[in-house]
Chains A and B, each alone.
Chain A
């Protein structure tokens, strides 16, 4: 029997995402995928999935749902949040709270509520087995603008039933003993180009020398920045060309827009620089009001930074260990569970 999540509260924008839809950009199909690939990979590792299994991306506030049709193992990564699991027990409902960065076994019938995200605007909730939505053009990622992929090509709404893939979790629940720091140092590294020559020397100096602020217009397509406008040597308009995730395009207003996962495949505004792939997860975590600066690096430095990030992710995955006894669980529950293996199921019968 395969489990499902019955969505009771969807959260502001919860979508099914994976590592993205590659191979169809030449047809105008955007890549999409999780804004924070590190969070996706860690959440999947915590529940024993492949790195690119389809998971839920939560924005600002997580969803609430009921588990139907069987138990699920789940984990939230990429933000701090309180995960409340409510089960019916003999004496009434009982709620336990869990942190992010660990797997939780949730029995059939339990309610789960993920609260406000802290430290990032984009966390990932993975379930063991992944979400079993149809593969469209090689990916399960939701394309919100195209209206396909994920669950019906849209964000979750109350009443949705999300099928969980088969593959029962084995072994103890894992946790990440030292989660990566979400503190943002305010710096995104960029490779200048491909149209840095559309700007004046002053424009380039302004771009690399001033502080920008994330505006309210920030979504999965991109982040509009507020701050000093950039002066053009030529103009904002170019003959449309291809766009990579992280490209910083500058329309006539002179204010940069950092393009994220759902960006269009080609565009006609000059692109002053591209955020390096190692810093894209950090860009994906930004919320309105955040301040940031840009620092130029070479392609070679950017490629090395990416390899360094991959080594970091590999080390984090290698550090996963069985969950230690959680402080919030009462003693009776603790004694009823196997502390050595760390098998702690939410709402074990007392």
Chain B
């Protein structure tokens, strides 16, 4: 006989702990690692808090295993908000197939991906095998952040897992497709960066004039499609003209 779940086992207060982040924010931490179930809970909590419109909540920032709640200390207090949020019912954590899957045309190796050969050497694979494993992976958008439009895409096959570069690059070109540890990502703008660069895509991921300003949304699927230099250049030109619609695969 299946036990009936107790009514409060899915309450936020039972699944997470609150951590102090000064007097204008606190963290709701669901765990410590990168895990699709934890991440689903984070995004679920963000949605519930948005719907509940707690007075004084300014915005929330979801990340892998934790939700940062920004609040106005002149309108409310951490204690009162945490007490109210602890009672939210998150329901059963469900990691469903993505509703949409973006297809990211990617030129791998060479100048576009200067670390591809080193990644191949370090993993004991051929460059073609590294590309195949990266391009065969259906990634999920876990977190957006650190840069506007940067998405942490998980998870990378374990055989491609490598630490970040010991010395980060001062300048990583916009569109660089990169990997580090169990994650992949695309640098949306030129930036310093410590991830290993294996390719480049001409797509744009952030436009401050769009609502929302990013291409991806949390939970989206992402797949990389290898392209040759000619197609990469053609797509880059189309993006610059403003007449390239990013490809999507059917999701669930």
Contacts and interface: CB of A to CB of B under 8 A. Distances in A.
Interface string B58-96: 111111111110100110011100000000000000000
Most buried by B among A143, A241, A267, A310: A241
Contacts of A201: none
A242 B61 contact: yes
B10 interface: no
A240 B146 contact: yes
A274 B64 contact: no
Contact of B145 (A147, A191, A266): A266
A21 to B, nearest CB: 10
Interface stretch (A67-75, A168-176, A297-305, A319-327): A297-305
B25 interface: yes
Contact of A239 (B34, B77, B78): B34
A141 B146 CA distance: 18
Contact of A241 (B59, B68, B213): B68
Nearest to A275: B22
A22 B70 contact: yes
Nearest to A149: B208
B61 A266 contact: yes
A306 B73 contact: yes
Given A28-B145, A300-B79, A191 B208 contact: no
Interface stretch (B103-111, B129-137, B148-156, B234-242): B148-156
Nearest to A27: B214
Given A240-B63, A241-B66, A193 B46 contact: no
B48 to A, nearest CB: 14
Interface in A247-279: 247, 264-267, 271, 274-278
B33 to A, nearest CB: 6
Given A23-B59, A194-B27, A310-B74, A242 B146 contact: no
Nearest to A147: B189
A130 interface: no
B99 interface: no
Nearest to A271: B21
A244 B20 CA distance: 11
A145 interface: yes
A239 B33 contact: yes
A241 B22 contact: no
Nearest to B62: A26
Most buried by B among A27, A147, A193, A303: A27
B146 A264 contact: yes
Most buried by A among B27, B62, B63, B212: B63
A10 interface: no
B191 interface: yes
A136 B60 CA distance: 19
A244 B21 contact: yes
B20 A299 contact: yes
A52 interface: no
Given A239-B65, A242-B63, A265-B61, A29 B23 contact: no
A278 B25 CA distance: 14
A145 B172 CA distance: 13
Nearest to B152: A240
B24 A241 contact: no
> Interface residue tally of chain A, by bracket?
35 or more
Contact of B149 (A27, A149, A266, A277): A27
A239 B73 contact: no
Contact of A277 (B22, B34, B64): B22
Most buried by A among B23, B143, B206: B23
A306 B23 contact: yes
A146 B147 CA distance: 8
A246 interface: yes
B176 interface: no
B115 interface: no
A264 B25 CA distance: 15
Interface in A189-222: 190-194
A276 B25 CA distance: 10
A336 interface: no
Contacts of A241: 27, 29, 63-66, 68
B73 A277 contact: yes
A25 interface: yes
A307 interface: yes
A275 B23 CA distance: 9
A94 B182 CA distance: 66
Nearest to B82: A299
B19 interface: yes
Nearest to B71: A303
A339 interface: no
A214 B164 CA distance: 28
A274 B148 contact: no
A108 to B, nearest CB: 34
B64 A239 contact: yes
A137 interface: yes
Q: Which 10 pairs, one residue from A and one from B, show the smallest C-beta to C-beta distance?
A: A242-B68, A274-B22, A302-B23, A194-B19, A266-B145, A242-B61, A244-B25, A28-B145, A265-B145, A241-B66
21 contacts: A22-B59, A25-B70, A27-B206, A27-B213, A28-B144, A28-B149, A28-B150, A143-B148, A191-B22, A194-B21, A238-B32, A245-B24, A247-B22, A265-B61, A265-B146, A267-B146, A277-B22, A277-B23, A299-B23, A299-B79, A306-B24
